[in-house]
Amino acid sequence: MEQSPNSSSTDNLSIDILILAAGLGTRMRSNKAKVLHELDGKPLIAHVCRTAAALAPEKIFVVVGHQADEVKQAVGRELGEEQTGFVLQKEQLGTGDAVDAAREFLQDKDSMLVILSGDVPIIRAETLASLIQQHRNQKAACTILTVELKDPTGYGRIIRDENKKFSHIAEQKDGSKDELKVREINSGIYCFNTRLLYQMLKQITPSPVTGEYYLTDVPALLRENGETVSLYLHNDAREVSGINNRAELADLERLVHRRTIKNLMLESGVSFIDPKSVCIGADVRIGRDTVIYPNVYLEGDTVIGDECEIRSGTRIKDSKVGNGVIIQDNCLITDSEIENDCTVGPMAHLRGQAKMEEGAKIGNFVEMKKTVLGKGSKASHLSYLGDATIGENTNIGAGTITCNYDGKNKNKTVIGNNVKIGSDTMLVAPVTVGDGAMTGAGTVVRKDIPENTLAVGQPARNIRKVTSE
């Protein structure tokens, strides 16, 4: 016989987490499982995993079903393998069935089980910690995170008894008229005594309306068995918004950006000319007195220093920008680093670990890939600089190209300090240009140029008269 754990021992129970993520999400009208849709540049499931990990649980189980492999990969990118267990729910028979799918791993554990939904992505770890705290304090068998909504349509309603204590949950499709008037809803986030949950789960029956097994039937069963079911009414309804369709997804994306921007203005001292037109990911950090112009998109793991200007139409992803940097209009910068006092653009493209050292400049229509542009060096117009190392105070003339690709391999170009590369020079890599060297306009450099040497080549020859006809 299984024994009910004595309640006073819940204090030191370890935490396990179960994330439900097997559903397709029909209302997304997508071929892609709902939890794989992206919010703030990351799949919904990744957000939930990150929050889950912040609670330092013993283990995180994820129930997968639709596109199980892709969902596993998305989880794998966020969590360590040891920490994670996957459970396959073959057929999506409801949230009760989804939890039951993990029975073999959890039913005998003396733990506290925090259940999260893969489609409720912006719940904060602090909120979950408070939920857990209340669950412990009240020695509850189940604590439900609830919020009040102006329009509760679609959610399970929290029905309280005459003493305002929990009675049961009424689902949208199953509830009576009166029940559906209630505005306090079930967020789908709970804390359970693991053993008791799995005992009660054996007793739930399919909904007569939808045929699904509802996890939401368990709290009422616990209560009928004399256990405490506690309600944690949270004041931020947006935080537990579940995403069921693309309009809700877009709303939440906007909310994430809005909150980030407000925080940057009020806490970090960043100016926005038109905050409504700007998208800033939640992880982006920006320094004091930096000004962000309209229609800028900053995303991923991006850090921008103090006193920068980021002009309109620029997108920066996973990049580091120092202090006093000016980024002109319509630049694309990914996986790159820009040191203090550089200027970039307009219409420049940095990617693949491009690095600009202090005070360097790249101008109109310059693309840099896996290239270091040294201190104070400039490439002001129309260039491709790929797989190159360029020294200090060197000038790259308009139209210069590092011909890094020979059809098979990518080859390196090395350019020294104080070099003057003439306009339209083709540097056929692998090739090295020594310190203080110069090239004439239109030179095709196939061999290394020694220090302090002028190289010219490929001059035009006048070959014949032409007539216009």
Q: Rule CB under 6 A: which residues touch ligand UD1?
A: 20-23, 63, 65, 89, 92-95, 97-98, 117-120, 155-156, 169, 171, 185-188, 214-216, 242
- Contact status, residue 386 vs residue 410, Cβ threshold 8 Å: yes
User: Which of ligand UD1, Ca ion, none lies near 216, with the C-beta cut-off 5 to 8 A by kind?
Assistant: ligand UD1
381 is catalytic: yes
203-to-186, 197, 215, 220, 229 alpha-carbon distances in Å: 21, 10, 11, 11, 17
- Which spans in 313-453 are helix H? none
Q: How far is the CB of 121 from ligand UD1 (least distance, A)?
A: 10
Long-range contacts of 279-283 (CB under 8 A, 24+ apart): 281/40, 281/41, 281/256, 281/257, 282/40, 282/256
**Of 66, 135, 349, 381, catalytic:** 381
- Determine, following the binding rule CB under 5 A, whether residue 25 of this chain makes contact with Ca ion: no
Q: How far is the CB of 400 from Ca ion (least distance, A)?
A: 55
* Cα 134 to the center of its chain, rounded Å: 30
Bridge partners of 20, per DSSP, are: 63, 117
The pair of structure tokens assigned to 40 is 């703030």
**Separation of alpha carbons 417 and 460, rounded Å:** 29
Q: Which of 118, 242, 287, 313 is in the footprint of Ca ion by CB under 5 A?
A: 242
- C-beta of 22 vs 350, nearer to ligand UD1: 22
Q: Write the DSSP symbol of residue 451.
A: T
Phi, psi of 135 (to 5 degrees): -60, -45
- Determine, following the binding rule CB under 5 A, whether residue 363 of this chain makes contact with Ca ion: no
- C-beta of 159 vs 403, nearer to ligand UD1: 159
User: Which of Ca ion, ligand UD1, none lies near 22, with the C-beta cut-off 5 to 8 A by kind?
Assistant: ligand UD1
- C-beta of 98 vs 270, nearer to ligand UD1: 98
Nearest-10 Cα torsion for 413, 417, 418, 419: -10
Q: Write the DSSP symbol of residue 23.
A: -
- C-beta of 22 vs 368, nearer to ligand UD1: 22
- C-beta of 182 vs 321, nearer to ligand UD1: 182
Q: How far is the CB of 358 from ligand UD1 (least distance, A)?
A: 48
Q: How far is the CB of 241 from ligand UD1 (least distance, A)?
A: 8
- Determine, following the binding rule CB under 5 A, whether residue 287 of this chain makes contact with Ca ion: no
Q: How far is the CB of 104 from Ca ion (least distance, A)?
A: 26
Contacts with Ca ion, residue ranges (CB under 5 A): 119, 242
Residues with catalytic roles = 381
